[in-house]
Amino acid sequence: MNAAMAAPPLFCLLLVLLVPLAPAGLALLNAGLNRSRSAAQALLGSLCVMAVAAIAYSVVGWSLEGFAGGASHSILVGGVSWNWIATRALFLRDVRWTEPEACAATLQIFAVGLAAMIPWGSGAERWRLGSGCAATALLAAVLYPIFGHWVWGGGWLAQLGTTFHLGNGFADPGGAATIQVLGGFAALVVVWIVRARRGKFPETGPPAAIPAHHIVYVLFGCMTALVGWFALNAAGAILFAGADSAALAKTVVNTILCASGSLLAALIVTRMRFGKPDASLCANGWIAGLAASSAVAALVSPGAALFTGVVAGALLPLVIEFLEVRCRLDDPSGGIAVHGFAGLWGLLAGGLLRHTPQGQFVAQLVGVATLAGLVLPVTYVLYRLLNRIAPFRTHPEGERIGMDLHELGAGAYPEFVTHSDEFLPR
């Protein structure tokens, strides 16, 4: 905290201004991994998700999340004070704009958009734009800020070190928990609710492969996201882990090592399983490495960061296959595995792979238990209620003709020849 207060706000703000490249990369990935008839809706939806998240977070979210050391509310249970929510003013009215908390508020506005974009990608090709925006508002105004306060705002998870002597408390400098796993669990809930695309799971035989329509978007999105992740991990390290801004090079090196190890591991595994490397799974491996790096980049040695990435990338294709074939989850962007699973692994690796005070790994486990045991069920209940008011799943006709024509009235590629769809029954 002291180091964070000493960090130069201008340098931190410049870092934060690069963070939107992460959601920009994810938006390209989400659009490219869909079929062409829903590409425009996917990209417009990504912009709308960013917009709704920014407004909802600015109006309500910041007041619930706040910044460490700010006004908050605690409850006394078992003789221990549990700091559970911030009590800041609505509409960002009490932000001290010349101090580091202004950088934190700005970072959060972009970060919450990144988190909300993860479920948007998983519900692609059958999730209505309107209900997607409503779900984003819920996530940005309630779910993200409250959990974010526990981790980044001086809440009870951050204080596990002082209240229960668990290391330095739950450590998540780059947002592996607050952004990646929270977004990944929201993606799981959305896939549970909207169910599969038509034709994905035939009554007999294996799930149908619905290939990405534009792998160039997907791979370029990976490169764009890398720059955003550099900034996200570096700014997070300054603001939430008290890192010295002069020592950020290690965070940046660890980020690229984690992503590189993950990409190459995914490439080797897909090469072994399918005979040739799978471009979309390799892209997912890259993003999984970045998601895992958010937990470890500011904390571990370069070797440990590389190991974290290799494990994430090696397991990712298997997890995606397990979720699709065994669990019958239709997740076009792979967000559940890429952000949820890899983020969880990163959080555990952050407790395992560094020299920490006693109890640090238990603190990480408590954070993981909170994500799975509280955030996931609450997200499910809220989204199910929202689904009754604003149904998530689009009309069957919308899915047949594509979300572009159905919701926007025009396709992303009007000059393309319309072709038949082998996935739909005739």
Partner 1 sequence: MKLIGLGLLFSGWILAVLALVLLPLPRERAAFVVAALAVEGLGLGLAMRAHRAYAGDGQ
Residues near partner 1 (CB under 8 A) are 77-78, 80, 126, 160, 164-166, 192, 194-201, 326-329, 358-359, 361-362, 365-366, 368-370, 372-374, 376-377, 380-381, 393, 396
- The three-point CA angle 315-321-322 to 5° equals 85
140 vs 368 by CB, closer to partner 1: 368
CB of 376 to partner 1, least distance (A): 6
**β strands within 39-79, DSSP E:** 72-77
The Cα–Cα gap between 278 and 205 comes to: 22
Which of 100, 340 has the CB closer to partner 1?
Answer: 340
Question: What is the rounded CA–CA span in Å between residue 332 and residue 324?
Answer: 10
> Which of residues 181 and 297 has its CB atom nearest to partner 1 in the complex?
181
Q: How far is the CB of 116 from partner 1 (least distance, A)?
A: 22
Of 69 and 357, the one with the shorter C-beta distance to partner 1 is: 357
Q: Among residues 134 and 366, whose Cβ is nearest to partner 1?
A: 366
Give the H/E segment covering residue 81: strand 80-86
Q: Minimum CB separation from partner 1 for residue 283, in Å?
A: 25
Whole-number minimum distance, CB 93 to partner 1, in Å?
33
Our CB check for partner 1 shows the closer of 76 and 417 to be 76
Q: Please tell me whether residue 80 adopts helix, strand or coil conformation.
A: strand
- Closest distance of CB 101 from partner 1, Å: 29
CB of 122 vs partner 1, minimal distance in Å: 13
Q: Which is nearer to partner 1, 180 or 255 (CB)?
A: 180
Contact 302, 251 (CB under 8 A): no
Tell me the closest approach of the beta carbon of residue 395 to partner 1, in angstroms: 10
In the bound state with partner 1, the residue whose beta carbon lies nearer, of 25 and 167, is: 167
Say if residues 124 and 37 touch (Cβ distance below 8 Å): no
Query: For 255, left (φ over 0), alpha (ψ -120 to 50), or beta?
Result: alpha
Q: Which two tokens stand for residue 9?
A: 């706000």
Neighbours of 163 (CB within 10 A): 16
Q: State the minimum distance, in angstroms, from the CB of residue 405 to partner 1.
A: 18
DSSP collapsed to 3 states, 148-177: HHHHHCCCCCCCHHHHHCCCCCCCCCCCHH
Q: What is the 3-state secondary structure of 180-228?
A: HHHHHHHHHHHHHHHCCCCCCCCCCCCCCCCCCCCHHHHHHHHHHHHHH
Residue 29 Cβ vs partner 1, minimum distance, rounded to whole Å = 24
Q: What is the DSSP letter of 24?
A: H
- Tokens 């490397």 sit at which residue? 277
The amino acid sitting at 8 is P
DSSP 8-state assignment for residue 426:
-
Q: How far is the CB of 208 from partner 1 (least distance, A)?
A: 11
Q: Residue 78 or 414: which CB sits closer to partner 1?
A: 78
Give the nearer residue to partner 1 in terms of CB position, either 4 or 166.
Answer: 166
Contact indicator for 308, 288 with CB cutoff of 8 Å: no
Neighbours of 270 (CB within 10 A): 22
Nearest-5° angle of CA 151, CA 156, CA 157?
Answer: 45
